[in-house]
Amino acid sequence: MDKFTTLTGIAAPMPLVNIDTDMIIPKQFLKTIKRSGLGVNLFDEMRYDREGHEIPDFVLNRPAYRDAQILIAGDNFGCGSSREHAPWALLDFGIRCVISTSFADIFFNNCFKNGILPVVLPQDAVDALMRDAEKGANARITVDLATQTVTGADGTAYAFDMDPFRKHCLMNGLDDIGLTMEKAPSIDTFEQQMAQARPWI
């Protein structure tokens, strides 16, 4: 998993509330168990018409936001089913941070396991960042996990709370497997001791 320290990038405005995981990645794309390749189908039913052509008005189809790395979203982002494919699709598109007033719990937890930073801010801060994002590619936003701040295009900084353990994992690129591998020496020592103490196992 890639480390998340500081991100400065284009933010795409998506002021819809209750964006659920089926909107993020529709159910027909859940057959794969690979984390790559889902970005093209991110928000599929909003991005494409029935013939598979891009809908020009959708935010991620606009030239200014095709390289967006940050998403400014409405309340209750990631609600619905618990599919981990949702953060996979966001990450494969290039989104490393989602900012909202609230997230669904399972989606929120899945983000941390996949290197995405979900940031919870008050409504007035999200509104200000949404206005920044609407200015297009020239209005870049900076997310600094070390200082736990989001800085808008005008230089205004907004502080956010973060669980210390989750912060440690993101800043060091540690998913569940990475956390386990940190304990590899202790695991090896335990296995050696067990092999000597109980050789029949």
Q: What is the pTM of this model?
A: 0.88
Q: Is position 23 within any domain?
A: yes
Q: Tell me how many domains the chain contains.
A: 1
Question: Does 24 fall in a domain?
Answer: yes
Instruction: Let me know if residue 72 belongs to a domain.
Output: yes
Query: Cα–Cα distance between 76 and 179 in angstroms, integer?
Result: 29
* Domain-embedded: residue 54: yes
Cβ 196 vs Cβ 188: under 8 Å: no
18 in a structural domain:
yes
Residue 100 has pLDDT above 70, yes or no: yes
DSSP single-letter state for residue 30: -
Task: Report DSSP letters for 64-111, one per residue.
Answer: GGTT--EEEE-SSBTBSS--THHHHHHHHHT--EEEES-B-HHHHHHH
Confidence at 183, pLDDT banded by 50, 70, 90: low
| CATH number for position 116 | 3.20.19.10
Domain extent at residue 76: 6-174
188: in domain: no
Percent of the chain with pLDDT over 90: 77
Number of Cβ within a 10 Å radius of residue 189 = 10
Q: Could you give the 3-state DSSP secondary structure of residue 11?
A: strand
Residue 149 lies in a domain: yes
Query: How would residue 177 be classed by pLDDT, with cut points 50, 70 and 90?
Result: low
Tokens 């606009």: give the residue.
62
pLDDT confidence tier of residue 78, bands split at 50, 70 and 90: very high
pLDDT bucket at 181, cuts 50 / 70 / 90: low
Residue 47 lies in a domain: yes
